[in-house]
Amino acid sequence: MSRTTCVTLRPTLEEFRDFDGLLERAERESNGRGIVKITPPDGWFEGAAAVAAELMGAPRPEHATAAEAAAADRAAQRLARTDVRPMRQCVSNPTGAKGAFDVALIPQPKTSVAGFRAWARRREADDARRAAEQRARFERRGVRARGRGDDDAAVPDDFPDAADVARRAADFWRTIGPNEGQPAPEYGADVDASIFAGEDESAGSGWNLHGMPSCRLRPFLARLGASMPGVNRGMLYFGAPRAFFAWHVEDANLYSINYLHCGAPKSWYALSPERSRVFERLAGDHFPEAQSQCRDFLRHKNTFLTPQLVAAASGLLQYEGDMVECVQRAGDMVITFPDAYHCGFNHGFNAAESTNFATDRWAAVGRKATSCECQPDTVRIDVARFEDWQRRGDEALVVVEEPEEGGGETPPRSPKRPRVEGTPRRAAAQGQPRRHRCKECAGCRALDCGACKYCLDKTKNGGPNKLKKPCVGRVCTAIAAGA
């Protein structure tokens, strides 16, 4: 399994600049498949080559333009203050079922981007040495090494690295199980930083992953003051040999876009959204304990089913295209569609940037999304409120208090208790800022966004209720002004 069977688009620069039009074309031509690959045209982002060189630790392109040099300088400054917290992926097979694995994600010490790159490069060299020794052993025995057989013929021969990609894919699926004599892979995923940050929103023909102007959701979250890494801003992913990502759908059933800045290829496998519920039942059959603890356990990304097991499952793949593959090379973009399960692995060191986004068509499937209740950082979006905001604007964010039933008269307040002499007076009487809400300003009347850290901390949203602060979008102007 080392070839591209998903739809691949190679738009012209004019077609590429029309984000919405190209996405509609991708959805139409994919015919319900889970992912598409887009190869951007030359010139879509002038700083792309210089940024890639910076990420790879390579010399900058000769005769770089002013725009390329500026992009490389910004990338160098950003990477210098960016830390990577790798996760070691320790695979076990407690049930003994072939192709079904538990994954323990063990946080590793923080390191710099350069430090992680050096570690991954050493791992690449070790893998290359082991592969060469294996090929030599097989050749001495008069047979071909694994990964160099019939599968190579299925890879398009217009790629010079096709045979190497096939060999690495075969080696990955052969060694993914436990006790295979190789160290556990490490993945520098979910790094809260962006190579595109600071670029004008028009940079990259509207494909700026840090601030895509075509995303309908970003202005809504900005109005609420909600900050969601990977949703309203881009995140970086630093791959290493055999580092993988388990089957999952995006939070809130959003779209996602992944751009591979540089480095080794990334292999993807995706299911059609129509097969998602069947796949969830299959996963639940293999991991009943995990499912009993959390109905959305696949969002934890600590279980893994191989595509071979999925393909062999009875009744899961009914039509051609129910599962597609993709080999993403440096410079390629991969778009995943809402409610489409996908997984994959990295062939070596690489650097990718990813973000979620929404379109006018997202809300219908976003309303059906479920969320994990045992992880406080799970993304939750009030889709009904988002749709109301699209129709009515900021007026939809203001709460109008309705009179209570029974006439609307306010019941009399309880009499105030007399102050005991010697006790401190209220803060406002001592000249300190006001600490109770006016209940009249827009901040007091706004609804909780349900997405900021204070909302996610609340008990009703499954949080630990430790912060005990109001939503960032419900700031009382009287308190802020010290009235």
How far is it, in rounded angstroms, from Cα 381 to Cα 215?
Answer: 15
Q: Is 237 a catalytic residue?
A: yes
What φ, ψ does residue 291 adopt, rounded to 5°?
Answer: -70, -35
**Contact, 283 vs 368, CB < 8 A?**
no
Choosing from 187, 237, 255, 341, the catalytic residue is 237
Token pair 């004008």: residue: 200
Residues shown for the chain: 483
Choosing from 68, 250, 325, 353, the catalytic residue is 250
Choosing from 248, 274, 321, 331, the catalytic residue is 248
Choosing from 188, 204, 230, 443, the catalytic residue is 230
Query: What tokens appear for 140 in the block?
Result: 């001495």
Residue 403 DSSP code: P
How far is it, in rounded angstroms, from Cα 163 to Cα 154?
Answer: 10
- Residue type present at position 6: C
Choosing from 188, 269, 354, 450, the catalytic residue is 354
CA 236, chain centre distance (Å): 9
Rg (the chain; Cα; Å): 26
Q: Is 248 a catalytic residue?
A: yes
Question: Is residue 286 within a helix (H) or strand (E), and if so which, with residue range?
Answer: helix 276-286
Choosing from 210, 261, 286, 342, the catalytic residue is 342
Q: Is 314 a catalytic residue?
A: no
Q: What share of the chain is helix, strand, coil (3-state, %, to 5)?
A: 35, 20, 45
Token pair 């001592």: residue: 430
Query: What tokens appear for 227 in the block?
Result: 């900050």
Name residue 188's beta-bridge partners.
238
Q: Is 347 a catalytic residue?
A: no
What is residue 8's three-state secondary structure? strand
Write a three-state SS string for 336-366.
ECCCCCEEEEECCCEEEEEEEECCCCHHHHH
Residue 155 DSSP code: S
What φ, ψ does residue 28 adopt, rounded to 5°?
Answer: -70, -45
Name residue 104's beta-bridge partners.
90
Question: Is residue 79 within a helix (H) or strand (E), and if so which, with residue range?
Answer: helix 66-80
Query: What tokens appear for 2 in the block?
Result: 């080392």
How far is it, in rounded angstroms, from Cα 281 to Cα 316?
Answer: 10
How far is it, in rounded angstroms, from Cα 55 to Cα 76?
Answer: 8
What residues are labeled active site? 230, 237, 248, 250, 342, 354
